[in-house]
Amino acid sequence: MKLSVPLYRLKRKARLLSRESSIPLHAALDRIAREEGFGRWSLLAATLSAVAPAGKLFAELRPGDLVLVGARPGQGKTLLSLELAVAAMRAGNKAVFFSLEYVERHVPDIFRAIGAERSQFGALFEFDGSDAISADYIMRTLSSAPSGTLAVIDYLQLLDQKRGNPELTVQVSALKSFAREKELIIVFISQIDRSYDPAMKPCPDLTDVRLPNPLDLTLFNKTCFLNGGEVRFGAATHS
């Protein structure tokens, strides 16, 4: 199936249409899907799901993994991370989305953007938009989570913004140990530095991760970087 432009651009076009026309995002997505020859967005998304990058990445994940998903704004890193959560839930696992960016009312539209409905997963999905999100908070929240649970943290660079929180490396180190002990998968959404130049390389990498505060990037053992419709998976360490 050939789209007129990459999927991430269609999603961006729908968000713009939603704002300019004052219509719900799901209605804007459906309108864009019809322009691509589909009756509604869910059909377009379902057609792509079999070859979606998130499905390929999820197949490579194992309990205890720490995953870094990085991209510049508007490239689809949040949607891909939520697609990982959906893949986990379809496999029967729990998924938790910790966000310091989004609030509860945004969640249904994010699900619809990837061709899913939050309601179909019931108690398998949990959203947490607390202002108190930090490594300690996440570990308390997931203390009784079953093995295989996938947690998304939106986003990495906000974890130590509050003065009382530990340094970023301390928090990520604690979450790495916690993920291994509890057999969880933790996905961190990450910003990319503004100095990244797509004309020099098609996708960012670990050297382009925005680090306002020091962080040992070898703590992550899986990576996924996005730009311009291209998605690159990798292993950050050999641990």
Kindly report the CATH number that applies to the domain delimited by 53-234: 3.40.50.300
Rounded CA-CA distance 149/126 in Å is 11
Q: By percentage, how much of the chain surpasses pLDDT 90?
A: 69
pLDDT in tens, 78-128: 999 999 999 999 999 999 999 999 999 999 988 988 888 899 999 999 999
pLDDT of residue 9: 79
| CATH 3.40.50.300 in the chain, residue ranges | 53-234
pLDDT in tens, 31-88: 998 998 888 888 877 666 555 678 888 989 999 999 999 999 989 899 999 999 999 9
Q: Are 142 and 184 in contact (CB under 8 A)?
A: yes
